[in-house]
Each structure stands twice: as structure tokens, then as C-alpha cells.
Amino acid sequence: MVEAVSAVLIWGFNELKLHRVEANPLAKNIPSRSLLLKLGFTYEGNLRERIYFRGHFEDQLYFGLLKEIWQKSK
């Protein structure tokens, strides 16, 4: 997944000229959280009981990555 998301970030920042990319995994999705942090995303907050999923409400996390931070990490 690192390679796939990295390719999307390269395309987004370089080709689409994005300034910011956001991701919103469910709080219980540990692999997604770990991947985002590994790629340089910053945890920005928790949206409590935002998503109704499989019969109950789940927290959704908020991550963001700025182009400037991404470029420095390369």
C-alpha cells in the first residue's frame, strides 16, 4: 500500500498541483492509521461517532498532508 498511496501523492501534488491531501479512516483501522503516519500525514483530530458502520456509530479520524511537508520528507 505504501507504493500505491505514494504514487497517488506524487500524481496529486505534481500533476494536479494540490496543496493539501486529506484522509479520514475509521478510528479502529490501525493499518490505515499507521500507513498515513508513515507517509508523513499529520493527525488533526477525531470526529466522534461520525460514521454509521455495521450496525453502530464509529469515530472517524482526520489526517492531512501539506505539499511542503511531503516534499521535505522525500
CATH of the domain at 40: 3.40.630.30
CA dihedral angle for residue 12, residue 13, residue 17, residue 22, rounded to 10 degrees: 70
Distance of alpha carbon 1 from its chain centroid, rounded?
A: 12
For the question of whether the overall pTM of this predicted structure is more than 0.85, the answer is yes
Tens digit of each residue's pLDDT, the chain (74 residues): 999 999 999 999 999 999 999 999 999 999 999 999 999 999 999 999 999 999 999 999 999 999 999 999 87
CB 59 within 8 A of CB 72: no
- pLDDT recorded at residue 74: 74
pLDDT, position 73: 83
26 CB-near residues (< 8 Å, 6+ apart) = 32, 51, 53, 58, 59, 60, 61
Number of domains, the chain? 1
What does the alpha-carbon distance between residue 71 and residue 5 come to, in Å, rounded to a whole number?
15
Which residues form the domain of 45? Answer: 2-73
